[in-house]
Amino acid sequence: MKLALACNCQNRYSAGKTEPDDTYEEFDSQETLNSIAAAISDFGHSVDILEADRTFPSALAEGKYDFVFNIAEGLKGRCRESLVPAVCEMLEIPYSGSDAITMGVTLDKDLARQVVSSKVPVAKGRVFYSGDKIDLSGMKFPILMKPNAEGSSKGIRLKSKIDSPENAEVEIQNLIRQYNGPVLVEEFIPGKECTVAVLGNENPAVLGIMEIAPKKLAVKDFVYSIEMKRDYKNCVEYFSPSRFSEKVIAAINKYAVDAYKLLGCRDFARMDFRLDADERPVFLEVNPLPGLCPVKSDIVLLAKGYGISYNDLLSRILSNAFKRQNLKH
């Protein structure tokens, strides 16, 4: 089968002088793309790597591809992750992963929270679209601020956890300005953090839970920020499987599958939870396009902890996508 690997290669872009240094943090390195392409080739398919920019629709149409393996984050805007699925559907080419609607909703963190909140606990939060009026009345400190439509911890820094009202307004205004978009502010959840891999379609199931623990900070002070991710070997310890109790694991499994179904995720996704003071899992966000770097991506590290190799993980993802569309893998 002839496959296109739809992606955004980090090597092609560099942040401008006025842009944050994590502007292209979501994009994949050439090494990651080569690893994914090599794994898919090992399954017996031919693979071309296609950049998901303005050239993508014509390259996809002209290439006469049978299938698209989608890991493209998109270039700009709130709907950027929806563009590749939309193009694939327009050209009637089957593809992996969630559709355009799910991609759009999940990238908007507050929309995703609203969708899952009927069945899954979420932190109390508020979205600010401009810095004109920042009203934090009724919210308990500490709070955590984050861009509302970014991924890969973009805009989430160590200073994103704000412990008191002093300077909170200024910090939120700065974040709105830096990322040129709305900011979600949530009451900070003080307990342990984890990430959860869910795979499947008709009967999605949790593949595993990985606990993300700080090496140098108390759990109550830990933010899985961009600084922590960039220096993960020194700052973070990963436990896969997690060290949680059976009761906590059962609750996480239920909430993860519930959120996956409510958001309409397909094939695979990775979602993040944090435990509150009563060890109740609280939903943070979901990523239907989790990174697949063979060295450091969370879902890959999680899978390894459960004895699942990189190629096996990709095979399971691709098998889910093929089965959903009645294709042979």
User: What is the overall mean pLDDT for the chain?
Assistant: 96
Which residue type does 184 have?
L
Lowest mean pLDDT among 16-20, 35-39, 96-100, 145-149: 16-20
Read off the tokens for 256.
């993860």
Stated as kind and residue range, the H or E segment containing 105 is helix 100-107
Tell me the three state secondary structure of residue 141: coil
Q: What's 140's DSSP letter? A: P
pLDDT at 170: 95
Length of the chain (residues): 329
Residues 43/329, Cβ–Cβ less than 8 Å: yes
Q: How much is the average pLDDT of 77-89? A: 97
Q: Does position 42 have pLDDT exceeding 90, yes or no?
A: yes
Give the ranges where the chain is alpha helix by DSSP (H). Answer: 30-42, 56-63, 83-90, 100-107, 109-116, 168-179, 226-230, 232-235, 246-263, 298-305, 310-324
> ∠237-109-318 over CA atoms, to 5°?
70
Q: How much is the average pLDDT of 124-143? A: 94
Q: What is the pLDDT of residues 297-322, one digit of tens each?
A: 999 999 999 999 999 999 999 999 99
**Backbone torsion region of residue 188, taken as left when φ is above 0, otherwise alpha when ψ lies between -120 and 50, otherwise beta:** beta
pLDDT band at 133 (very low <50, low <70, confident <90, very high): confident
Residues 172/202, Cβ–Cβ less than 8 Å: no
Q: Does position 101 have pLDDT exceeding 70, yes or no?
A: yes
Number of helices (H), then strands (E), belonging to the chain: the values are 11, 12
Residues 239/304, Cβ–Cβ less than 8 Å: no
pLDDT at 152: 80
User: Cα(290)–Cα(271) distance, rounded to whole angstroms?
Assistant: 9
Q: What is the pLDDT of residues 228-281, one digit of tens each?
A: 999 999 999 999 999 999 999 999 999 999 999 999 999 999 999 999 999 999
Q: What is the pLDDT of residues 149-194, one digit of tens each?
A: 998 899 999 899 999 999 899 999 999 999 999 999 999 999 999 9
Q: 244: closest CA among 282, 281, 296, 215?
A: 281
pLDDT band at 131 (very low <50, low <70, confident <90, very high): confident
Q: Does position 54 have pLDDT exceeding 70, yes or no?
A: yes
Q: What is the pLDDT of residues 267-296, one digit of tens each?
A: 999 999 999 999 999 999 999 999 999 999
Q: 113: closest CA among 126, 96, 95, 128?
A: 126
Residues 57/87, Cβ–Cβ less than 8 Å: yes
Reduced 3-state DSSP string for 184-245: EEEECCCCCEEEEEEEECCCCEEEEEEEEEECCCCHHHCCCCHHHHHCHHHHEEEECCCCCC
Q: Does position 329 have pLDDT exceeding 80, yes or no?
A: no
Q: What's 158's DSSP letter? A: G
